[in-house]
């Protein structure tokens, strides 16, 4: 897009075609309207042509939202037939931040009814016979199969971490209220937290930079920590890489046994 070799409409249309084919097997989409998506893409192209999006970090990037996150261009049913056809009057605060940075709200992912319990009957893209995790599992599945590069979901009982591990993607859940919950249905006002799914840590860090920030009153953080630059966040926080332990019958007879093992793992190629 930056070179003019392709337009946002052309790229978005490819994402739409791919989503239609893949989701026939996965059934992870709660709301998907290609014509509305392409209208957003056309606005991105228009802004790009007029030089209005030069600072947009997510220009034309499709983002999936869990069905409990309000977006004025999509229904938000919170996974319940009781709320079928519910149309929000305004965007959730984080959705507004995404739009302001050029993102396209691509689709809604299915969630458990009222965002509680196991994810509905959705196939894992890594193995169609397996599950995708807890309530936000569909959002993780959409990233895993390539329908979208990033997705936003919520958790109250570990849904971000579990679903990310089930689907083999990055799951990032920041501290409570570090991302605004305005415009989001919360199964628990104290436990519900917003998280991010992506293919890479760098993508998760970029999205986090954009949506981090609270704008609400009540129980939550009084002090918002200053964010590190994304390069430092990605590189330094991953200095010690997680690995699969291939050692068997490990016995730590000395106090520093685990520390020694971590150092050995760090220096492996």
For residue 208, the model assigns a pLDDT of: 92
Angle at 118 between CA 114 and CA 121, to 5 degrees: 100
For residue 29, the model assigns a pLDDT of: 93
pTM over 0.75: yes
pLDDT of the chain, 269 residues: tens digit per residue? 666 667 999 999 999 998 988 888 888 999 999 999 999 999 988 887 787 766 788 999 999 999 999 999 999 999 999 999 999 999 999 999 999 999 999 999 999 888 887 776 888 999 988 989 888 899 999 999 999 999 999 988 888 999 999 999 999 998 877 888 889 998 887 788 899 999 999 999 999 999 988 665 444 444 555 555 554 545 444 444 444 344 444 454 554 566 666 666 556 55
Smallest Cα–Cα separation from 250: which of 265, 230, 238, 235? 265
CA distance 194 to 179: 6
Q: What is the pLDDT of residues 128-179, one digit of tens each?
A: 889 898 888 999 999 999 999 999 999 888 889 999 999 999 999 988 778 8
What spatial distance separates the first Cα and last Cα of the chain, rounded to whole Å? 37
For residue 157, the model assigns a pLDDT of: 82
CATH number belonging to domain 8-238: 3.90.1300.10
Sequence spans of domains, the chain: 8-238
3-state SS track over the chain? CCCCCCCHHHHHHHHHHHHHHHHHHHCCEEECCHHHHHHHHHHHHHHHHCCCCCCCCCCCCEEEEECCECECCECCCCCCHHHCCCCCCCCCHHHHHHHHCCCEEEEEECCCHHHCCECCCCCECCECCCCCCECCHHHHHHHHCCCCCEEEEEECCCHHHHHHHHHCCEEECCCCCCECCCCECCCCCCCCEEEEEECCHHHHHHHHHHHEECCCCCCCCCCCCCCCCHHHHHHHCCCCCCCCCCCCCCCCCCCCHHHHHHHHHHCCC
């Amino acid at each position: 897009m930056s070179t003019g070799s392709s337009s946002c409409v052309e790229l978005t249309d490819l994402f739409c075609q791919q989503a239609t084919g893949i989701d026939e097997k996965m059934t992870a989409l709660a709301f998907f309207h290609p014509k509305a998506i392409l209208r957003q893409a056309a606005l991105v192209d228009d802004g790009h042509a007029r030089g209005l999006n030069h600072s947009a970090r997510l220009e034309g990037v499709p983002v999936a939202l869990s069905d409990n996150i309000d977006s004025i261009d999509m229904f938000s049913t919170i996974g319940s037939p009781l709320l079928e056809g519910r149309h929000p009057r305004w965007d959730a605060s984080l959705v507004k931040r995404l739009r302001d940075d050029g993102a396209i709200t691509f689709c809604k992912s299915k969630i458990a009814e009222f965002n509680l319990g196991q994810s509905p009957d959705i196939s894992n893209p890594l193995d169609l016979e397996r599950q995708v995790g807890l309530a936000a599992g569909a959002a993780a599945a959409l990233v895993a199969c390539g329908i979208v590069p990033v997705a936003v979901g919520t958790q109250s009982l570990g849904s971000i971490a579990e679903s990310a591990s089930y689907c083999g993607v990055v799951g990032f859940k920041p501290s409570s209220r570090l991302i605004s919950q305005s415009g989001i249905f919360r199964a628990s006002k104290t436990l519900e937290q917003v998280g991010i799914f992506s293919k890479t840590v760098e993508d998760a860090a970029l999205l986090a930079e954009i949506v981090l920030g609270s704008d609400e009153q009540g129980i939550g953080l009084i002090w918002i920590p200053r964010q590190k630059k994304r390069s430092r966040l990605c590189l330094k926080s991953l200095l010690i890489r997680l690995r699969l332990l291939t050692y068997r019958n490990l016995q730590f007879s000395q106090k520093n046994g685990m520390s020694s093992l971590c150092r050995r793992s760090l220096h492996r190629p």
